[in-house]
């Protein structure tokens, strides 16, 4: 009867080893509790039962009793150890695993238990065997069947899978999925099976919240198996930790899934369904969708629209969902009024999406916001939409349909009507005529609809008289009111043209209209150049300096651009001359307060040549008269470089009455020189007198126009053999009365 003693020694040795292991755990990081002794005791007991006779049963029972006592002692010791480190263990948080090389996850092979008794002695690697048995017990709540145990044991021993894959096989099995587990029950199993401990309250609450965002339970198990605790558990059984690959879009980025879940909960008042979550999160992950697409997709889904929210409820929901706050009373009233005036829910939603608050919301979730798209005409200009709605209600006495609004606002956006034409279209239409209103009611409708006020009793009497004097024709009165300054000033801010073409003054500003369009920017009209300043809604710039496109311009009291400011700014210490070679004119620039040449002073008509050099030069010399190619003479010459100069149009001699009129002067403004840059005599003299030696000259071979216009030019008759701009020859013009 020595065999029972051998068993006692084996059990004692096991207790000693486990005690040593516990002591080591207390000195280092405490690994998860492992109930190895219970599994081994059961296995050895079953083996002894098969091999011993009935006479040995009593001794074996004594051994088992002693072994159980030892096991209980070990359990108590481990419990004390756990108690001592409990706060440290509970404070640990599950870390999200770093992605490593992907492992193939085997299909679950979990059949129903065939027998309560399995011979585990045949498994050479008892650690692996016990790890599999543990998962059956902790996850499925039962003992393993022999086929299942063989399957998972062989997979682990042959290194086909790792610990994480085994967990995934059990958690993903139909047997486990078919368990009607609550969130709390599921998490209890995850903590016990994977972390080998009971859940701490905060951790359980956190993971419950994560599940509420719509991730799968597989996502939770993947996070758990990536923890240090599971790593220690696997190490205790001498197997590799591994990881779980996640394939569903909703599991790939928790923050994105939380964003989508936010809209499910706020817009649809429910948890997201699996397909919906995967579709929305997939679009965000691939960046084929933006935050704007998500907001629009939920708010304009059939499910949301079928709620039938009124304007007040709809706006409040937008505040809560898109701005993440409660609506303030002023904002709520404004948006509900806009909806009442005819814009669509898309218009209001788009304006909420354009807010900084929604931008911040998307940024907080790491999502590209995107921009809303406005497609309906009624949503493109609120003032126009509000106007059309107002006219319908006060002239036709009904609210417009969305099709009416889109038609009218589309035509207004295309500038098909002036203010007068719009009024005539409503009041002269068949729908209004069919009402057969009295003259008095017509006058009241006219004032309320167009002037937005009730007529006084005196005005009613005056207008009735006007109708009677016109032979009971209402059209003259309609024209008078619709062409009034009062009516036009009401419609002007809405983008409705007061006139079809020309200048229009309103509230001290002047605007220009071309084919019912208000002009913005530079305008050439009446032989002058004007700037209709977009900063001032297109009002004409007048009276003083204004920076436009980086240049400093001066405008007179009529709004005309002054293109020679030499008399305004006076002589300058420094100028820069830019020649637009292909344009055949030049502009002189002066320095601004910062020392930059941003003030165009005057433009000069030129004739360049194909041989005229391009680039930057500094003037080295000047000559009052200088002989040119072929023996002709040039006045007021300023050297540019080498043989190339600025000079007047050539003369036959140094007599200013011998100008080459037809051959050279009349070609100014065209490419006609041999390489020098010809000027009118007056411009050549101004440059000679005002631009010091060393003045920078830049000849541009590509650009053909600058901030000032090319000067106008009038050719001379052949008998006019002097330059009319030459101050030394002007007396000749006076004698002939020509200039």
List active site positions: 647, 676
Phi and psi, residue 145, nearest 5°: -90, 155
Q: State the Cα–Cα distance between residues 720 and 723, nearest whole angstrom.
A: 8
Question: In the structure encoding, which two tokens stand for residue 380, read together?
Answer: 């493109």
Check if the beta carbon of residue 450 is closer than 8 Å to that of residue 458. no
Distance between CA atoms of residues 161 and 170, nearest Å: 13
Classified as helix, coil or strand, 429 is coil
What is the DSSP track for 654-665?
A: SSTT-B-TTTTG
Go through the chain and tell me how many residues it has.
Answer: 739
Task: Return the half-sphere exposure (C-beta side, CA atoms, 13 A cut-off) of residue 85.
Answer: 19
Helix (H) or strand (E) holding 613: none
| Residues forming a β-bridge with 307 | none
174 vs 198: CA distance, rounded Å? 25
Among candidate residues 697, 713, 716, the one with its CA nearest the CA of residue 586? 697
Please give the biggest Cα pair distance in the chain. 156
DSSP H or E segment with residue 217: helix 217-225
Secondary element (H or E) of residue 606: strand 599-607
Whole-angstrom Cα distance, residue 124 to residue 136?
A: 19
How many CB atoms are located within 10 Å of the residue 578 CB?
20
Rg (CA), the chain: 47
Measured between alpha carbons, how far is 419 from 491 in angstroms, rounded to an integer? 7
Which residue shows structure tokens 């770093």? 98
Q: Which residues contact 603 (CB under 8 A, 6 or more apart)?
A: 563, 564, 585, 586, 587, 588, 706, 708, 709, 710, 711
In this structure, what token pair is assigned to residue 530?
């004007």
The Cα–Cα gap between 226 and 229 comes to 8
Question: Locate tokens 């809303």: which residue?
Answer: 372
How many CB atoms are closer than 10 A to CB 101?
A: 6
Using alpha carbons, select from 508, 496, 494, 495 the residue that is nearest to residue 539: 508
């Amino acid at each position: 009867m020595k065999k029972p003693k051998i068993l006692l020694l084996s059990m004692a040795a096991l207790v000693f080893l486990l005690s040593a292991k516990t002591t080591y755990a207390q000195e280092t990081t405490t690994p998860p509790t492992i109930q190895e002794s219970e599994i081994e005791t059961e296995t050895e007991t079953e083996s002894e039962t098969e091999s011993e006779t009935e006479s040995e049963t009593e001794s074996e029972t004594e051994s088992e009793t002693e072994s159980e006592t030892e096991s209980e002692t070990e359990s108590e010791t481990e419990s004390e150890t756990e108690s001592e480190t409990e706060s440290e263990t509970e404070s640990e948080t599950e870390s999200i695993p770093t992605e490593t090389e992907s492992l193939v996850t085997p299909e679950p092979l979990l059949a129903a238990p065939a027998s309560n008794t399995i011979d585990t002695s045949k498994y050479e690697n008892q650690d692996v065997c016990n790890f599999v048995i543990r998962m059956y017990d902790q996850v499925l709540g039962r003992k393993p069947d022999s086929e299942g145990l063989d399957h998972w044991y062989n997979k682990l021993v042959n290194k086909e899978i790792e610990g994480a894959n085994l967990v995934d096989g059990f958690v993903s099995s139909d047997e486990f999925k078919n368990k009607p587990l609550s969130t709390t029950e599921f998490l209890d199993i995850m903590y016990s099976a994977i972390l080998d401990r009971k859940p701490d309250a905060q951790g359980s609450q956190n993971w419950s919240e994560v599940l509420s965002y719509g991730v799968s339970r597989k996502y939770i198990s993947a996070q758990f198996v990536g923890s240090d605790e599971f790593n220690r558990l696997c190490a205790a059984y001498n197997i590799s930790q591994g990881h779980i690959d996640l394939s569903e879009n909703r599991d790939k980025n928790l923050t994105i899934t939380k964003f989508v879940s936010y809209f499910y909960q706020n817009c649809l008042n429910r948890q997201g369904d699996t397909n919906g979550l995967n579709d929305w999160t997939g679009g965000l992950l691939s960046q084929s969708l933006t935050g704007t697409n998500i907001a629009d997709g939920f708010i304009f889904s059939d499910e949301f629209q079928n709620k039938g929210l009124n304007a007040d409820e709809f706006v409040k929901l937008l505040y809560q969902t898109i701005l993440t706050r409660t609506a303030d009373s002023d904002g709520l009233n404004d948006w509900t009024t806009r909806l009442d005036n005819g814009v669509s829910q898309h218009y209001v939603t788009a304006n909420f999406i354009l807010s900084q608050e929604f931008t911040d919301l998307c940024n907080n979730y790491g999502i590209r916001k995107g921009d809303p798209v406005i497609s309906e005409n009624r949503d493109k200009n609120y003032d126009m939409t509000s106007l059309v709605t107002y006219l319908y209600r006060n002239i036709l006495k009904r609210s417009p349909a969305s099709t009416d609004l889109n038609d009218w606002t589309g035509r207004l956006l295309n500038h098909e009507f002036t203010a007068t034409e719009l009024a005539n279209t409503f009041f002269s239409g068949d729908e209004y005529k069919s009402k057969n209103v009295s003259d008095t009611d017509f006058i009241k409708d006219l004032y309320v609809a167009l002037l937005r006020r009730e007529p006084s009793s005196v005005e009613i009497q005056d207008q009735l008289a006007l109708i009677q004097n016109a032979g009971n024709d209402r059209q003259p009165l309609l024209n008078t009111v619709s062409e009034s300054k009062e009516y036009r000033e009401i419609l002007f801010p809405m983008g409705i043209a007061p006139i079809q073409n020309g200048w229009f003054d309103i509230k001290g500003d002047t605007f220009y209209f071309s084919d019912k369009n208000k002009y913005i920017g530079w305008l050439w009209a009446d032989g002058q150049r004007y700037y209709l300043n977009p900063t001032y809604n297109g009002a004409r710039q007048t009276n003083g300096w204004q920076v436009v496109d980086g240049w400093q311009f001066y405008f007179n009291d009529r709004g005309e651009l002054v293109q020679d400011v030499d008399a305004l700014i006076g002589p300058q210490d420094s100028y820069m001359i830019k020649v637009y070679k292909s344009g055949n004119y030049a502009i002189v620039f002066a320095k601004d307060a910062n020392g930059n040449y941003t003030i165009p002073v005057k433009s000069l008509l030129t004739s360049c040549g194909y041989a005229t050099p391009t680039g930057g030069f500094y003037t080295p010399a000047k000559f009052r008269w200088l002989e040119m190619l072929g023996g002709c003479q040039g006045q007021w010459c300023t050297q540019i470089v080498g043989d190339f100069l600025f000079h007047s149009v050539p003369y036959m001699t140094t007599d200013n009455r011998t100008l080459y009129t037809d051959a050279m002067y009349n070609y100014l403004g065209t490419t006609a020189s041999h390489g020098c840059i010809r000027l009118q005599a007056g411009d050549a003299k101004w440059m000679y007198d005002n631009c010091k030696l060393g003045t920078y000259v830049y000849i541009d071979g590509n650009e053909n126009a600058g901030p000032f216009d090319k000067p106008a030019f009038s050719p001379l008759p052949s008998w006019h053999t002097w330059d009319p701009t030459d101050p030394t020859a002007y007396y000749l013009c006076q004698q002939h009365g020509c200039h």
